[in-house]
Amino acid sequence: MIESKLAYWVAQSKSWHTFKEFKLSIENQADYPFLGHPKDFYITLFGKMFELIHKDPSEENAALNRIKNQMLQIAKGMEIYSLKETRSEFQGVDFSRNMLYVASLYYLADYPASAYILAKLFPPTVYEGEVDQFISSFLCRDLDHLPTFADPFARFVLTGKRENLEGLSATLHDGSVKARDPDEFVSFRIAEALVKSFMANNVWQDLADRFDVLTEERWKQFIRHGFDRRPPVWSFFPSQRQAIAQGILSEDARCFALQMPTSAGKTALCELIIFNHILQKPGKVLFLAPYRALASELLSGFGRRLATLGISSKAMYGGHVPNNEERAAIQDVDVLIATPEMFLAVESVIPEVYESFSLVICDEGHLLDDTTRGLNYELLLAKFKLRSPNARFVFLSAVVPNINEINQWLGGNESVVRSNYRPTELDLAYLQKTARNGYMLNFNPHKRRPENYQLYHFLTRGDMEFVNIQTGRINHYRLETSVTRQSVATAMKALLAGKVALFSPHKRKNGVESLAEELIRQTISSSLPKPIEFADSTMIERLQEYFGRVFGKDYLLTRLVRVGALYHHGDLPQNIREVVESAIHTSAFRLLICTNTLAEGVNLPIKVVVIHSARRFDKYTGTLKPLKLRDLANLFGRAGRSGQETTGMVIVVNPVDRQIVSDAIEGTKNEAVSGYLFGLIENLERVIREHRLVLDNRLLESQSEDFLRLLDSIDVSLISLLAEEIDVDHLTREINTLIQSTFAYHQGDSEQRDTLRAIFKSRGERLVPYVQNGQFKAIKNSGATLRFFEQVVHRLHLEDEVWSKTTHPCDDRWMAHLFDILFSLPQIIATVDDFNTGRSKDEMAVDATVIRDICTLWMKGHWYGEIATRLNVEVSYLLRIFSSIVHSTIGTYVAQIIRLASYLSEHEVGISISETILDWPQYLMSGLQYKTELELVNLGFTEREGVIAIARWMALNNVQGFSGPALKSWLVLFEDKLLAEIKDLITTVAYDKSAKDFDLLRHQPIL
């Protein structure tokens, strides 16, 4: 055990390290007793380290965990003697050698990612002794600088032959006996401890039982492939090893569920699962990624890595009907990464697609009850259960407390892995007011001393001093009057520690945009660290140019870039969010203001998360309601990312949020996932009860639009679950079978199940006439509701040549016809009315004409700033129109209209819908107007500005007739010329993104 006084000093050293990290004034430094006895402190730590590395690694789990925890604490005490911001306070300690000790302790304590970061601070070349060079090379995972005596280690890493490690361990033990001085003796003992630990925990050891005569060479290829990653993969995290030990690679269990914290290695584990599955079992892999951003990131990340192993992958998102090339790719690809709604669109053109997939990986599984994505997610999994009985599920989530229940629903038994392992530690701090308008940070208030400590004078009156330009006098910016001011000041001060995310659940008022305006003010009216001091000046210029082109120079994001910060929320277009994410990921910027879009699957390295508010406005009650604890926990997983930081920090500004955040970090009160369909039935049942309605379809369909939307969701569920070919006589029995496949049925008690049956039976009766007249197939293939079908089918007028002869997406006749249909729908009208109700008085009301004009200008290549100027509206208001109406509502309903028209034209009318109309949803989503532009997007080009420029050059030079593989070959052949031609026509950011798109096209065999 670590003696209480030593433990207290270690905790104090952490407090002092944080004090130094924030560069607080020395006169505000608290009394730290260990600083008066630095040599005694170090000698005691060193002695304890030496004692711990001699502990038997075969101890029982509980004892071994205690030893590892003590190693971690000793490492934290020793690291202050080597870290740049603290080491100047000490004398007589070899910074680099001490860091070897620290990094070794982190490694032995099962924190290899932190060990890697710390060891890299002093590369192997700085050490003179061969043993120290070996330790450094080992921790840095660097085979190029190993000393000669460690050749057996290199041979083991490359071949997996255990005798090499056994021989090296013996050599190191003999070396400690023959050591010439104490330093060398210690180094030999540490090196021996590292090798013994590595013998028990390395990729060769953990995957050895997967080898057989047929697959051994492929497994060796996979392992060696991990060595080429950065950082190289030599071993697994404890959470990953636990999953492997519990059988995640076995094909026996139909479902395997994983619950582990964010950054604990789920994505890398998925790569392993996919590789193993493809080796062991025929069939494709479906990776369900609920967010478009996640799907895109997965393709560019592990999609590329799998490609080097000969495993092809493709990402699809949206809800458009897949074109012929996409259909072919789905048939040929090994791994399909798709959002649930996109896969349901695939089903409409490839009904037997379920049978093609033998493994379904369900990422971000807690979204089963999400109001936007939950229904499609649940229905898709239910359909896989029914239509692909041999498919295996892997269910992933960091924050689902009832994961056992979901695992059982999907066919699993005891096949659940729960791990609390987090590769980096997380600290919680409350901002608290002190005397004279100062603020301190109260760290880890949910723990006892010494882990609970205070960092006084975090924000002082001096921090808020500024010189009034007009008077020349020193003024003070008052923080106590506003939580917004406090949040921004806290984020700015936290910049000294690393990358900062300032979080708010709201986009505008008292949210991201208010915080951004306040940040711009405080860069002028305070003495706090400025974001621009930590930002890359070249990237500031490039993003100013890019955002200026896209939004205009006066848009808030463009102005924010000028002071060295960025923001990220749901109104920003996806490609812009990706640009922002890249700027943070590459450390070009250090401060990001964001909503929970930050937590939507994207892995960003953040050191500090500052919580401006943990409550969201509820329009139904008119009050602020706490965010879900599990959503907050998912957000906090972004603090202290593995491989980037050794610790993370969450700072709570508003006192009313303290308990919410504390509960989220503790993780014992996370809300169970109930499934969206389950909640839907509960809401429907409540409305029926409150209004004393009976289950009569005519009566139900005469209710309000809000009620009809609930009913639409039930209809979507039922239609989606039913097969195209139905025997009317067996409809009730078929519906009951389908109901039993849902998570809602699995969760419900007998009364709730009866309600589920009754509602579905009632809605099933409504479908009978359409099953009898054959139109049910059209309804199902369109992905629409019954109400939508009845509203639209008589308005299509498929005999009109506009459907077959339209050759341009912005054709006036086509646009007029389409918008006549759209704005005859009560659903569209209600959405637009809701939007207009929520606007301010000085904002323009939107209608069919305005929305049509926006869509036309967008597809013709205009950017948001240009469109806003033409309409005489603010860019931020225009972006709200795009996110709330154009891309979500219009895009969704048009896709359904076209899918319905396509089916009816082929099966009933006997005409062919023009390719332009079939592709119209993609033209709208991408903001394009020509087929060549769309072909480029389908090949993986993501930057709109670059796509338009390339297509324009091709048109001017009469390059026509290419598509699919032929176009890909031509682009690769003329890459250099095309990039040279467009370089001066587009912004630097767009050019760089286009160059990366070419690189992916050229090097990666991704379909």
Structure tokens at 104: 């070794």
Please, which pLDDT band fits residue 475 given cuts at 50, 70 and 90?
A: confident
231 domain-assigned: no
Q: What mean pLDDT, rounded, does the chain reach?
A: 90
Which of 129-138, 169-178, 727-736 shows the lowest per-residue confidence on average (mean pLDDT)?
727-736
Query: Tens digits of per-residue pLDDT, 800-856?
Result: 999 999 999 999 999 999 999 999 999 999 999 999 998 998 999 999 999 999 999
Contact 372, 251 (CB under 8 A): no
Tell me how far apart the alpha carbons of residues 838 and 583 are, in angstroms, rounded to a whole number: 33
145 domain-assigned: yes
pLDDT at 57: 58
CATH of the domain at 316: 3.40.50.300
pLDDT at 481: 84
824 domain-assigned: yes
* Residue 924 sits in the same domain as residue 957: no
pLDDT at 580: 94
* Residue 938 sits in the same domain as residue 912: no
Query: Tens digits of per-residue pLDDT, 244-263?
Result: 999 999 888 889 999 988 77
* Residue 916 sits in the same domain as residue 935: no
Which of these three, 914, 929, 944, is where a domain ends? 929
Contact 523, 586 (CB under 8 A): no
3-state secondary structure of 966: helix
436 domain-assigned: no
For 913-942, the DSSP string reads --HHHHTHHHHHHHT--SHHHHHHHHTT--
* Residue 455 sits in the same domain as residue 544: yes
Helix spans in 448-573 (H)? 483-494, 512-522, 537-550, 556-562
228 domain-assigned: no
576 domain-assigned: yes
* Residue 364 sits in the same domain as residue 452: no
* Residue 375 sits in the same domain as residue 457: no
With a cut of 80, say whether residue 296 has pLDDT above it: no
pLDDT at 927: 97
681 domain-assigned: no
Cα 628 to the center of its chain, rounded Å: 17
* Residue 923 sits in the same domain as residue 976: no
Q: Which residues of 893-930 are buried (b: 16+ CB within 10 A; e: fewer)?
A: bbbbbbbbbbbbbeeeeebebbebbbbbbbbbbbbbbb
Q: Read off the pLDDT of each residue in 648-655 and give the average, rounded to a whole number.
A: 96
The residues, ordered by sequence, that sit 6+ positions from 648 with a Cβ below 8 Å of its Cβ are: 424, 425, 426, 427, 606, 607, 608, 609, 636, 638, 639, 640, 641
Contact 319, 342 (CB under 8 A): yes
Query: Tens digits of per-residue pLDDT, 494-547?
Result: 999 999 999 999 998 889 999 999 999 999 888 899 999 999 999 999 999 999
* Residue 776 sits in the same domain as residue 836: no
Contact 403, 397 (CB under 8 A): yes
* Residue 400 sits in the same domain as residue 478: no
Which of these three, 759, 777, 793, is where a domain ends? 793
pLDDT at 26: 82
* Residue 868 sits in the same domain as residue 992: no
Query: Tens digits of per-residue pLDDT, 423-471?
Result: 888 999 999 998 777 899 999 998 888 788 889 889 988 888 777 767 7
426 domain-assigned: no
Query: Tens digits of per-residue pLDDT, 63-117?
Result: 888 899 999 999 999 999 999 989 999 998 999 999 999 999 999 999 999 999 9
**Considering its fold, how many domains does the chain have in total?**
6
Cα 74 to the center of its chain, rounded Å: 34
CA distances from 523 to 276, 533, 538, 552, 672 (A): 53, 11, 20, 22, 43
pLDDT at 1006: 43
With a cut of 50, say whether residue 1007 has pLDDT above it: no
Which of these three, 902, 929, 956, is where a domain ends? 929
* Residue 482 sits in the same domain as residue 605: yes
pLDDT at 699: 80
Structure tokens at 272: 């392993």
* Residue 192 sits in the same domain as residue 339: no
Domain that holds residue 845: 801-929
| Distance linking the first and last C-alpha atoms of the chain | 56
Please, which pLDDT band fits residue 921 given cuts at 50, 70 and 90?
A: very high
